Amino acid sequence: MSKERETGGRLGSEMPRTGSAQEGEMSCPMTEQAMVNLEHAAERGMVHVESALSAQERDGESDSPSSTRSRAMWVLRSISPKLGNQPPSRRSGGCLELTGGQKLLIVMVGLPARGKSFIAHRLTNYLTWYGLDTRVFNVGAYRRMVGGKEDSEFFDHQNPENVAKREELAWTVLNKLLEWLKHSGGDVGVFDATNTTDERRRKVLEHSQAYFGDDELNVLFIESVCEDPEVLSANLEHKIARSPDFVGVPREKAMAEFKARISKYERVYRTIADDSLSYIKVMNLSSKIVCNKIHGRSQHRIVAFLMSLHVVERPVWLVRAGPVDSDPTHWSGSWHPGVVAHQLKSPNIRASGAPAR
């Protein structure tokens, strides 16, 4: 059983089933090691297996605990009603803890149309599932709420008046985020803005740490770098099609306006090069990950999650194998994994499998 499955919320849904086993009973035999892994997972999922087994034995509700099959059945019956579809709660002993009880501030970095908001929202969903109260604070959304749409000239770094307006917006949103983290019980706040200069990133770090005091806040920078023309083109198309800034604007005009905005950011953009910071660089939305000063279980989880991100659409084939003999040499011809893979005609599908039992 993989670690992902060990720490998941619905263990019952991960267990293999075959044939016509009765409800709540596993039809495939389990090794002792598999049983140990399952018990391990149950403890992480807020259910202590031995206490559940003892209760079942005491009440005479099931078979002898010496049977690994029965033990597995007890575990699943104990876990499923308690966990269901709900994410594990950190406050009730769930799966993910923040290092030293510190709050976590995630600061997004990157040019427009590089997937920052995509990463921010996907990461928020992921951390929320693991029991951490996580929220995205987007500067662009706040700008539109208080000021409406702006053309590319608003993002000109040579215009002191517009620079001051953008700075005021950014600090207002950051302060709202910090206030939520410190006074409203939040665990992880995501500051979704471009943060393209060394000066801005240093100010965000110093201001946030001063707001919280010593050793109360971890700050992690996540930079999205996109140089793949295909991925960048897809991001641009998605942005002008979905962004409230371009509602009702013809595609050609919206694309020209957005590219002009990006070019103004490119003049001042500097990638993260300060190794005193904790940061993760995501290249082309997961083709490569660069990490520096990553500490604690939660940050390592974030790295693993970002490594699994992708934006390219790809098929997922779910194939139910037909009946086969227990001897691997007696696979039913049309249902052999190699035959199935060939029939699907996909170079990305690798034949693998084991006889059903």
Tokens standing for 261?
């905005």
Confidence of residue 196 (pLDDT cuts 50, 70, 90): very high
Dihedral sign from CA coordinates of 205, 175, 94, 41: negative
Nearest Cα to Cα of residue 299 among 123, 143, 169, 162: 123
In the predicted model, what is the mean pLDDT of residues 225-233?
87
Tokens standing for 143?
């700008």
In the predicted model, what is the mean pLDDT of residues 217-232?
92
Dihedral sign from CA coordinates of 99, 274, 271, 308: negative
Give pLDDT, residue 261. Answer: 93
Number of H helices, E strands in the chain: 12, 6
| Residue 340 DSSP SS3 | helix
Amino acid present at 154: F
- B/e letters for 143-154, b = 16+ CB within 10 Å, e = fewer, are beeeeeebeeeb
Characterize the bridge pairing of strands 288-292 and 279-283: antiparallel
> Which tens digit of pLDDT belongs to each residue from 252-281?
999 999 999 999 999 999 999 999 999 999
**Which of 312-316, 346-350, 351-355: highest mean pLDDT?**
312-316
Lowest mean pLDDT among 136-140, 143-147, 207-211, 316-320: 316-320
Block residue for tokens 């993002």: 155
Q: Please, are residues 26 and 17 in contact by the beta-carbon 8 Å criterion? A: yes
* Burial tier of 50 (Cβ tally within 10 Å: 0-12, 13-18, 19+): exposed
In the predicted model, what is the mean pLDDT of residues 319-332?
58
Q: Please, are residues 228 and 310 in contact by the beta-carbon 8 Å criterion? A: no
Report percent pLDDT > 70 for the chain: 59
> Which tens digit of pLDDT belongs to each residue from 134-164?
999 999 999 999 887 788 889 998 999 999 9
**End-to-end alpha carbon distance in the chain:** 18
Strands (E), the chain: 103-109, 134-138, 188-192, 217-225, 279-283, 288-292
* Distance in angstroms (rounded) separating the CA atoms of residues 14 and 23: 15
Give the DSSP letter of residue 114: S
One-character DSSP codes across 163-178 = HHHHHHHHHHHHHHHH
Amino acid present at 299: Q
| Other CB atoms within 10 A of residue 334 CB | 9
Lowest mean pLDDT among 241-255, 271-285, 308-322: 308-322
Element (H, E) at 124: helix 116-129
> Which tens digit of pLDDT belongs to each residue from 46-64?
344 444 444 444 444 444 4
* Distance in angstroms (rounded) separating the CA atoms of residues 51 and 336: 43
* Distance in angstroms (rounded) separating the CA atoms of residues 162 and 150: 11
> Which tens digit of pLDDT belongs to each residue from 12-43?
333 333 333 333 333 344 455 555 555 555 44
Rounded to the nearest 10°, the torsion over CA 28, 33, 37, 38 is 40
Domains of the chain are: 103-308 (3.40.50.300)
Taking every pair of C-alpha atoms in the chain, what is the biggest distance, in angstroms?
Answer: 79
Give pLDDT, residue 23. Answer: 35
Tokens standing for 224?
């999205």
pLDDT at residue 201 above 60? yes
| Residue 221 DSSP SS3 | strand
pLDDT at residue 199 above 60? yes
Lowest mean pLDDT among 67-76, 222-231, 236-245, 276-285: 67-76
Tokens standing for 81?
């009603």
Tokens standing for 173?
């949103």
Q: Please, are residues 246 and 151 in contact by the beta-carbon 8 Å criterion? A: no
Give pLDDT, residue 63. Answer: 43
Q: Please, are residues 302 and 309 in contact by the beta-carbon 8 Å criterion? A: no
pLDDT at residue 195 above 70? yes
